[in-house]
Amino acid sequence: MYLMKIDLHTHTHYSDGKLSPSELVMRAHNQQVDVLAITDHDTVQGIAEAREYQASQKRPLQIISGVEISTKWHGFEIHVLGLHIDYQDQTLASRLAEQSEVRLTRAQKMCNKLAKIGIEGVFDEAMARVGTGQITRAHLAQVLLDRGEVSSWQSAFSQYLGKDKKAYVNAPWPTIAKAITWIRDAGGVAVLAHPGHYDMKTKWLRRLLEEFKDANGQGMEVTHPNMSPTKKQLLFSLAREYQLLAAVGSDFHAPSPWSELGRKLDIDSDLPTVWADWPECRKAS
Ligand code: AMP
Ligand code: MN
Ligand code: MN
Ligand code: MN
């Protein structure tokens, strides 16, 4: 039996990814990915370009329109993926425009904090890299790293940009329930992103899953590349317990030895998946 290679969580340079949508699609071809969702942070800008590029290609690839929405829950920044959305939906566009405003204001405030401790001009430098895309903390981290203010990407977060660090600003993100409504209004499936990456105990994770399900969330990511088998099994069993559909994605941001499209994303075959009834995921025989 031929198993499809499916990757439902990826970024382009319209948020904090390194590749353009065309480059991302090209890479998906080279990695033999069959189905690729593009899920930039709070924007759908890359999707039209990816679809246009694919339309000019001979090699097959199904593109799923997606978005990764930032929300807040009990002080945690929780990400919710909207998969299989109508990326041209006008209501969604205006809601994402509000997210852009929040992002710009937050970045400005973070950079003001940096300026107060002597690191000036980060905002303008970051914006020059952002172009028409969505500004993220990753852009600020890159400026700090390039200037030699920090010695590693991780320390940009552990010293300045991470939660409650020197330049951290608490953003007024929407609730999880709101993001789920936005996604479902745009015809999409709402999926809890990377539940294994939040810094919370299993008891809190359970609470999160319960509330996500109660707010009409439909799925959860059940694996990430390089996740331990024990953690994977925990996520598989939580998906079963809370009756959330399984989703898989690499959360690809840039080519590196540790991260690749569609790699190491296998899951237990009995798990009900978000893509079970998607025509894009039916292999032509
Ligand atoms: P933002 O959505 O603007 O808060 O930026 C979040 C992005 O920054 C994430 O998607 C990651 O790519 C990166 N990021 C956030 N926190 C960390 C961290 N502690 N270490 C490394 N990268 C991080
Ligand atoms: Mn990111
Ligand atoms: Mn995320
Ligand atoms: Mn992501």
**Model confidence pLDDT, tens digit, residues 217-258:** 999 999 998 899 999 999 999 999 999 999 999 999 999 998
Spell out where 141-238 has E strands: 189-192, 219-221
Give CA–CA dist 87/74, Å, rounded: 29
Please tell me the residue having the least CA distance from ligand 1 atom 21. Answer: 154
> What does the angle CA 278 – CA 251 – CA 176 come to, to the nearest 5 degrees?
75
Give CA–CA dist 216/200, Å, rounded: 22
Give CA–CA dist 38/24, Å, rounded: 9
Among positive and negative, which fits the CA dihedral 91, 16, 144, 78?
Answer: positive
- Whether residue 274 contacts residue 247, with contact meaning beta carbons closer than 8 Å, is answered with yes
Residue 285 clears pLDDT 70, i.e. is over it: no
> Which pLDDT belongs to residue 283?
75
- As a whole number, mean pLDDT of residues 253-267 equals 95
Torsion of CA 81, 85, 90, 96, to 10 degrees: 10
Please tell me the residue having the least CA distance from ligand 1 atom 11. Answer: 138
Pocket-forming residues, ligand 1, beta carbon under 6 Å? 16, 41, 70, 136-138, 154, 157, 162, 253
Q: What confidence category does residue 284 fall into, taking pLDDT thresholds of 50, 70 and 90?
A: low
- In the block, which residue shows the tokens 């059940």? 222
Entry pTM: 0.97
- As a whole number, mean pLDDT of residues 34-57 equals 98
What's the gap in Å between 130 CA and the centre of ligand 1?
A: 15
What's the gap in Å between 221 CA and the centre of ligand 3?
A: 11
- In the block, which residue shows the tokens 């790293």? 145
> Which pLDDT belongs to residue 1?
61
Q: Which ligand is nearest to the CA of 15?
A: 2
Give CA–CA dist 103/66, Å, rounded: 19
Which domains does the chain possess?
A: 6-89+176-284 (3.20.20.140), 96-161 (1.10.150.650)
What's the gap in Å between 10 CA and the centre of ligand 3?
A: 10
11-32: per-residue pLDDT in tens? 999 999 999 999 999 999 999 9
158-191: per-residue pLDDT in tens? 999 999 999 999 999 999 999 999 999 999 999 9
Straight-line distance from the first to the last Cα atom of the chain, in angstroms, rounded to the nearest whole number: 10
> Which pLDDT belongs to residue 167?
98
- Higher-scoring residue by pLDDT: 258, 36: 36
97-153: per-residue pLDDT in tens? 999 999 999 999 999 999 999 999 999 999 999 999 999 999 999 999 999 999 999
- As a whole number, mean pLDDT of residues 34-41 equals 98
Exposed e or buried b for every residue in 99-125, given b needs 16+ CB within 10 A? Answer: beeebeebbebbbebbeeeebeebbeb
The chain-wide mean pLDDT, for the chain, equals: 96
Q: What confidence category does residue 92 fall into, taking pLDDT thresholds of 50, 70 and 90?
A: very high
- As a whole number, mean pLDDT of residues 68-75 equals 97
Spell out where the chain has E strands: 6-7, 35-38, 62-73, 76-83, 189-192, 219-221, 245-247
Q: What confidence category does residue 282 fall into, taking pLDDT thresholds of 50, 70 and 90?
A: confident
199-219: per-residue pLDDT in tens? 999 999 999 999 999 999 999
Please tell me the residue having the least CA distance from ligand 1 atom 14. Answer: 138
**Counting atoms of ligand 1 from 1, which one is nearest the CA of 136?**
3
Checking DSSP bridges between strand 35-38 and strand 6-7, what pairing results, if any? parallel
Instruction: Tokens for 130, please give them.
Output: 């952002």
Q: How many CB atoms lie within 10 A of CB 145?
A: 15
Q: How many CB atoms lie within 10 A of CB 85?
A: 26
